[in-house]
Structure 1
Amino acid sequence: MRAEPWLIAGGILSAAASLMHLAIIAGGPAWYRWFHAGDKMVAMAERGEARPWIITLGIAAVLAVFAACAFSAAGLIPRLPLLPLALVGITGVYLLRGLALGPLLVWRPHLVDNFILWSSLIVLVYGLVHAIGTWLVWREL
């Protein structure tokens, strides 16, 4: 497989998001608050409960797998099993999360705060990067 810049970029984006989630765990309650994790998550983190860091660690792990799949499809690491299915699933997750903003803006605009708006737009970009990269290497998969 050739090194596909779009998938390399997608892998870097997913890896950065994974590392950011690990930094949130390390940063503690103040970081959960700053990243708008929600009042319940912040409160649990302030009480020292394990649930916020377990959830955040799970998200970080999933994002790390997303990065590995993108890097694998880009030819930077060995080929992972079920790679075509994984790339379609990853792209779908990112695009659906990003595109969910549309219905929210139409039917529940009061739920759209700055966090929802910006995170949706960012994730939509992630999805587009993965979609383009997947499209470009599809025949080689």
Structure 2
Amino acid sequence: MFNAENKALVLAAYCSGLAAMAHLGCIIFGGDWYRFFGAGEQMATLAEQGHWYPSAVTSVIVVVLSIWTLYGLSAAKVIRQLPLIRLALIVISSIYLIRGVGFIWLMPMFPGNSLTFWLVSSGICLTIGLLYAVGTLQMWPRLNV
């Protein structure tokens, strides 16, 4: 394996990378994948119709999750340190944690998503957010500003 200084951040980065790949799979494989992952019938139907919207939104998510993967690996000292590492880790941890606990307020904005989607995805986000937060706290003194 590789030399990492923080297992929590490596696991968080791994999870972010898996999430990015799952979203990329939705773009590549279309409506059935959007349905399987609970994105809602409207997104699935638009994807099947070849509409640009599902791919555009999902592409942004893929890019963001990929960047978060790199920041997790950077903070764990697997790759070179990226700029604004402390700020990035605070933002990444916060977004995951807020998404994990704030789904109740998000649900009305996305009525096409199933309750199963909200519970599973929120649990995943909460777990990843905790991994980023714990790893960040552990590595904080060794991260350059």
Question: TM-score when scaled to structure 2?
Answer: 0.87
RMSD of aligned C-alpha atoms? 1.6
Corresponding residue SS for 2:79: coil
For the residues of structure 2 that align with 1:23 and 1:133, how far apart are their CA atoms?
28
- The runs of 4+ residues in structure 1 deviating greater than 3 Å are none
For the residues of structure 2 that align with 1:4 and 1:42, how far apart are their CA atoms?
38
For the residues of structure 1 that align with 2:36 and 2:18, how far apart are their CA atoms?
17
Task: Specify which of 47, 52, 55 is matched with residue 54 of structure 2.
Answer: 52
CA contact (8 A) 2:13 2:70 kept: yes
Corresponding residue SS for 1:80: coil
CA offsets, 1:67-102, max 9 Å, x none?
A: 00000001011110000000000000000000114x
Q: Name the residue aligned to 1:136.
A: 138
Number of paired residues? Answer: 134
Percent same amino acid among aligned pairs?
37
For the residues of structure 1 that align with 2:14 and 2:37, how far apart are their CA atoms?
20
What is the identity, as a one-letter code, of the residue corresponding to 1:134? T
CA contact (8 A) 2:39 2:117 kept: no
What is the identity, as a one-letter code, of the residue corresponding to 1:5? K
For the residues of structure 1 that align with 2:7 and 2:35, how far apart are their CA atoms?
34
For the residues of structure 1 that align with 2:72 and 2:36, how far apart are their CA atoms?
29
Task: Specify which of 42, 66, 69 is matched with residue 68 of structure 2.
Answer: 66
What is the identity, as a one-letter code, of the residue corresponding to 2:63? A
Q: Name the residue aligned to 1:77.
A: 79
Q: Name the residue aligned to 1:10.
A: 12
5+ unaligned residues in a row in structure 1: which ranges? none
For the residues of structure 1 that align with 2:10 and 2:48, how far apart are their CA atoms?
37
5+ unaligned residues in a row in structure 2: which ranges? none
Q: Name the residue aligned to 2:37.
A: 35
Q: Name the residue aligned to 2:24.
A: 22
Task: Specify which of 88, 91, 95 is matched with residue 89 of structure 1.
Answer: 91
Task: Specify which of 109, 115, 118 is matched with residue 120 of structure 2.
Answer: 118
